């Protein structure tokens, strides 16, 4: 008798869960969260602090062209609102630090001599910080003959920053040398996502038009004025990107 009761309860629970699952599947959730792994054009920025013991300094421009950078992977988070509007967020951060090391003098002169002790050169203190962030807003279109295919159009805005500091281990050095750079890149966005199921998709995107403004600033010695250089870059069908992700 107990076994029949248990079987009956399990059967009723199974029917109830199935009904709730069907109801949830047919209903559009107001907000869904997506996470995707991306692969495509790299948007990193990097600068290097110059030596503070040069006689002449040339202003250096930052590269804002996505075509001269290698393939990169990233992570993108999304909010899908009413299965129509999509908000994408992403970014990256990297930092490095090289502690200084003093020179260790040896006994060797300008030419190599067997048995003499070589000199260990000093190591300059260096610090770097790079980060980037982007936000994109787009609108999903529906195709009645291909419901799993979701093309979209929108806009994307990216921002990049890079900074570097160097302190040379020499009595002739005039303090720290610093370099900074930033870039702002608004652009149009178009792409398509293909949903193999309600929660799994692959996609691709490209920016039909992108404008980038980048600025580099160097201060090779403490107390000197900044030396600026700026760049204006225009791109068409820029920064293609592929993605594979899940929606919850």
Distance from C-alpha of 36 to C-alpha of 160, rounded to nearest angstrom: 21
* DSSP-H helix ranges across the chain: 2-26
**In contact, 39 and 242? CB cutoff 8 Å:** yes
**In contact, 53 and 172? CB cutoff 8 Å:** yes
pLDDT of residue 13: 43
* 127 in a structural domain: yes
Higher pLDDT, residue 45 or 202: 202
* 7 in a structural domain: no
Distance from C-alpha of 201 to C-alpha of 184, rounded to nearest angstrom: 30
Q: How many residues are given for the chain? A: 248
- pLDDT tens digit sequence for 131-186: 889 999 999 998 888 888 999 999 999 999 999 999 988 888 888 899 999 999 99
DSSP SS3 for 123: strand
- pLDDT tens digit sequence for 1-11: 444 454 454 44
The domain in which residue 136 lies consists of: 36-98+115-247
* 145 in a structural domain: yes
* 110 in a structural domain: no
The predicted model gives 43-60 an average pLDDT of 81
The predicted model gives 106-120 an average pLDDT of 87
pLDDT at 23 over 50: no
User: Is the torsion defined by CA of 234, 237, 243, 248 positive or negative?
Assistant: positive
Domain CATH code at residue 193: 2.40.160
* 24 in a structural domain: no
* 204 in a structural domain: yes
Measured between its terminal Cα atoms, the distance across the chain in Å is 42
Beta strands in 22-84 (DSSP E): 31-41, 71-81
* 21 in a structural domain: no
Distance from C-alpha of 38 to C-alpha of 201, rounded to nearest angstrom: 12
pLDDT of residue 17: 39
Distance from C-alpha of 154 to C-alpha of 141, rounded to nearest angstrom: 11
C-alpha closest to that of 156 among 183, 136, 179, 171: 136
The predicted model gives 186-206 an average pLDDT of 93
* 6 in a structural domain: no
Q: What are phi and psi of 207, to 5 degrees?
A: -100, 110
Beta strands in the chain (DSSP E): 31-41, 71-81, 85-98, 125-140, 149-167, 177-195, 200-219, 227-247
Count: domains in the chain: 1
- pLDDT tens digit sequence for 52-88: 888 888 888 777 667 776 777 888 899 999 888 999 9
For the chain, what percent of residues have pLDDT higher than 90? 38
């Amino acid at each position: 008798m107990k076994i029949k009761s248990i079987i009956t309860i399990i059967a009723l629970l199974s029917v109830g869960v199935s009904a709730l699952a069907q109801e949830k599947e047919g209903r559009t959730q107001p907000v869904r969260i997506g996470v995707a792994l991306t692969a495509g054009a790299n948007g990193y920025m990097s600068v290097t602090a110059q030596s503070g013991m040069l006689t002449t300094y040339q202003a250096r421009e930052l590269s804002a062209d996505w075509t001269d950078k290698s393939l990169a992977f990233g992570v993108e988070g999304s909010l899908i609102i009413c299965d129509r509007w999509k908000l994408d967020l992403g970014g990256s951060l990297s930092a490095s630090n090289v502690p200084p090391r003093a020179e260790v003098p040896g006994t060797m002169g300008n030419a190599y001599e067997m048995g003499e002790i070589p000199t260990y050169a000093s190591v300059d203190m260096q610090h770097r910080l790079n980060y980037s962030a982007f936000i994109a807003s787009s609108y999903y279109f529906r195709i009645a003959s291909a419901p799993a295919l979701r093309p979209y159009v929108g806009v994307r805005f990216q921002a990049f920053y890079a900074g570097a500091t160097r302190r040379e281990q020499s009595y002739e050095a005039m303090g720290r040398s610093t370099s900074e750079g930033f870039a702002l890149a608004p652009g149009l966005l178009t792409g398509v996502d293909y949903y193999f199921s309600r929660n799994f998709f692959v996609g691709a995107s490209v920016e039909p038009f992108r404008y980038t403004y980048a600025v580099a600033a160097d201060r090779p010695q403490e107390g000197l004025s900044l030396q600026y250089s700026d760049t204006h870059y225009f791109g068409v069908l820029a920064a293609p990107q592929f993605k594979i992700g899940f929606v919850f």
